[in-house]
Amino acid sequence: MECAAKGSAGAGPCAPGRPSRRCGLCGAVAYCSPSHQMLHWNDHRDECARLQEQMRMADTLNDFPFTFSEEASLLRSGEQMTRCSLFMSKGLHQRGLWTSECSCGPTLASIGGLGIMNDWNLPSSLCPCTDPKNPISTPLSSWKDYYKWRSLPFHSPVALLLHWPLTIYHCLQLSFARNSSSEVSGKLHIHYLGPEKELLQLAVFGELRALFPGLQLYIEIVGPAVPQCRDGETICISNYAHCSEESCHCRSSERTNAVMLRLRKGYYHDRYTDIVKDSNPHLIVAPNAGVAAYSSWLPTIELIKEMGVPAIFTDFCEEAAFLASRCISSVTGRPLSLPIQINPFRQPMAVEDSALYLPCYSNCFIFGM
């Protein structure tokens, strides 16, 4: 972390080295010296109480039922276990769907396009490669619920990838809970905004077939990270990502209730006219959006305001969600329809090299219309 007073008027240069002091009330900001801390108080006082509340959520955000999550948080040689070392210990490093999950993995820019990698590289007992044994009897409300329903042991790491489709599932549950008339039968159209890493993990969206067995799902995946050469491409996901067992019937079976993905390059507000010719959305989802950090979201929010379609955004941490909520309210001229809350299907491992000390894998919901 940098000194919170760095660059402030009258602060002068920061003391060398990493900041050694933290705010004694919230613990969320750091300072290089007592003088810089005193100078910054006028700026910090308005946010301090809010950051205190967020920091109190740290234990809740760490509360996952996974043994692999506990393993990932162990200190080894004085340093937190990295994603690379975790995946190496499980034989998953740079393999299949896990290829882009650590800092040394490829990016879309480096590979020049999309490859639909569809292998879990896990035995069938550790991954959802076939249909569930039973339908969902009550709505899933946590990772623990999901793992029990899918008959997976808690040491399976698949939640590290499945947070994308499970977040869509939770967004739909929120939308249905607010407006029972919004429930649909037959076909469900979702507009999914701002994809990045998940473009290299599209096979995991096949899990939506199990979550919504009676629906035909159409998902428009829209964002500037979509490769130009794949703009307009339709991808049919009619099976689950494969396990590592050659004899498993997941390698030969296909179902009729496919998930249809269509890729669109560009910003949603620029592509909207083309998209709605084929797909009027029941729900708009924007995961880990970074609304306060990117001004390009503002015209999209203006458009959503005019559309009147339910839209749910998630963000990197609760403070990012708070800042985003202010941006959204300033554009829409009204408070959020949904309060900021924790996504129960958030990414269950801290992001590496984070500059934030705040709980940084909260994926808080911030916006619903």
pLDDT tens for 112-151 read 555 566 799 999 999 999 999 999 999 999 999 999 999 9
Residue 319's pLDDT band (cuts 50, 70, 90): confident
C-alpha count within 13 angstroms, C-beta hemisphere, residue 85: 13
Q: What average pLDDT does this structure show over 334-349?
A: 86
Give me the mean pLDDT over the 247-253 stretch. Answer: 83
Most confident by average pLDDT, 23-27, 254-258, 278-282, 346-350: 23-27
SS3 53: helix
What's the rounded mean pLDDT across residues 88-97?
90
Q: Say if residue 74's pLDDT is above 70.
A: no
Asked, for residue 76, whether it belongs to a domain, the answer is no
Q: Specify the amino acid at residue 161.
A: L
Q: Which amino acid is at 280?
A: N
Instruction: Assign 236 a pLDDT band (cuts: 50, 70, 90).
Output: very high
User: Vertex 292, ends 205 and 13: CA angle to 5°?
Assistant: 125
pLDDT interval class at 353 (50, 70, 90): very low
**Backbone dihedral angles phi then psi of residue 281, each to the nearest 5 degrees:** -80, 145
Q: How confident is the model at residue 360 (pLDDT cuts 50, 70, 90)?
A: very low
C-alpha to C-alpha distances, 300 to 109, 226, 272, 321, nearest whole angstrom: 24, 17, 9, 17
- Contacting residues for 26 by C-beta, under 8 A, at least 6 apart: 48, 49, 51, 52, 55
Whether residues 52 and 154 fall in one domain: no
In a domain, 83, yes or no: no
Give the residue with greater pLDDT, 118 vs 312.
Answer: 312
Low-confidence winner among 62-66, 162-166, 209-213, 263-267 (lowest mean pLDDT): 62-66
What is the Cα–Cα distance from 291 to 316, expressed in whole angstroms? 10
DSSP bridge pairs for 30: 3, 22
Sheet holding 341-342, edge to edge: 234-237, 259-265, 215-223, 186-193, 283-286, 311-315, 364-367, 341-342
262 and 232 in contact (C-beta within 8 Å)?
A: yes
Kindly report, residue by residue over 29-38, the tens digit of the pLDDT: 999 999 999 9
Mean pLDDT of the chain: 86
Cβ 282 vs Cβ 189: under 8 Å: yes
CA distances 104 to 13, 85, 270, Å, are 34, 11, 33
Pair (209, 335) in one structural domain: yes
What are the structure tokens assigned to 39, written together?
């100078």
Q: What is the number of other CB atoms lying within 10 angstroms of the CB of residue 143?
A: 22
Residue 297 has pLDDT above 90, yes or no: yes
Its pTM surpasses 0.85: yes
Mean pLDDT, residues 193-209 taken together: 93
Q: What is the pLDDT of residue 251?
A: 81
- d(CA 3, CA 319) in angstroms, rounded, equals 18
Residues 50 and 127 in one domain: no
- Higher pLDDT, residue 305 or 79: 305
Instruction: Find the CATH number of the domain harbouring 264.
Output: 3.40.50
Q: Are 331 and 325 in contact (CB under 8 A)?
A: no
Of the pLDDT bands very low, low, confident and very high (cuts 50, 70, 90), residue 51 is: very high
Same domain for 23 and 133, yes or no, is no
Q: How many CB atoms lie within 10 A of CB 47?
A: 16
Mean pLDDT of 248-273: 88
Burial class (CB in 10 A: 0-12, 13-18, 19+), 203: buried
Is pLDDT of 323 > 50?
Answer: yes
Number of domains the chain is built from: 2
Average pLDDT score over residue span 74-85 = 64
* Residue 81 maps to a domain: no
Q: Which two tokens stand for residue 282?
A: 């029941």
Alpha-carbon span 359 to 361, nearest angstrom: 6
Residue 89 lies in a domain: no
Q: Which domain holds residue 303?
A: 117-368
177 and 318, same structural domain? yes
Q: What confidence tier does 158 reach under pLDDT thresholds 50, 70, 90?
A: very high
Question: C-alpha angle with apex 106: 232 to 120, nearest 5 degrees?
Answer: 80
